[in-house]
Amino acid sequence: MSDTPKGKFLHTMIRVGDLDRSVEFYTRMFGMRELRRRDVPEGKYTLSFVGYGGNEAGEGEIELTYNYGVDKYDLGGAFGHLAIGVPDVAGACEAIRSAGGKVVREAGPVQHGTTIIAFVEDPDGYKIELIQR
């Protein structure tokens, strides 16, 4: 595999039913920034990229895709979750809950391990794992 080109993780795309609601969720609940937005009327979609520093800083992003006129998606069973490292998972859960977010698994050790995790859900139902770092 030494001939395999070394890549760089850029982003994960998820489809959302309300772009402004999703941007507000990721920026308010996790302290991300909206890094850029692009509307493509001829394709009937708008993209917003959120993250902590942008790819120029070497950090991955979340691409939020809004397709005109689609306000809900069937998430299916294949996608698992996004993961965000935080210094205090229990504190993050409290802050998210206080801000109106939905905690679906309280802070505690991962099954069969010691790493502290929790899960929250975004407005479209995507799961976000919080991992204590």
Dist CA 42 CA 23 (whole Å): 22
Residues 95-107: tens digit of each pLDDT: 999 999 999 999 9
The one catalytic residue among 34, 59, 121, 129: 129
Residue 34 a catalytic site member: no
Same domain, 69 and 94: no
Same domain, 27 and 87: no
Which pLDDT score is estimated for 110?
95
Dist CA 80 CA 104 (whole Å): 14
Provide the residue range defining the domain that includes 97.
Answer: 80-133
Q: What percent of the chain has pLDDT over 90?
A: 83
Question: Could you tell me the CATH number of the domain that includes residue 86?
Answer: 3.10.180.10
Same domain, 45 and 92: no
Residues 45-55: tens digit of each pLDDT: 999 999 998 66
Same domain, 40 and 9: yes
Residues 71-121: tens digit of each pLDDT: 999 999 889 999 999 999 999 999 999 999 999 999 999 999 999 999 999
Q: How far is CA 83 from CA 1, 20, 32, 61, 69, in A?
A: 28, 21, 13, 12, 29
Same domain, 86 and 41: no
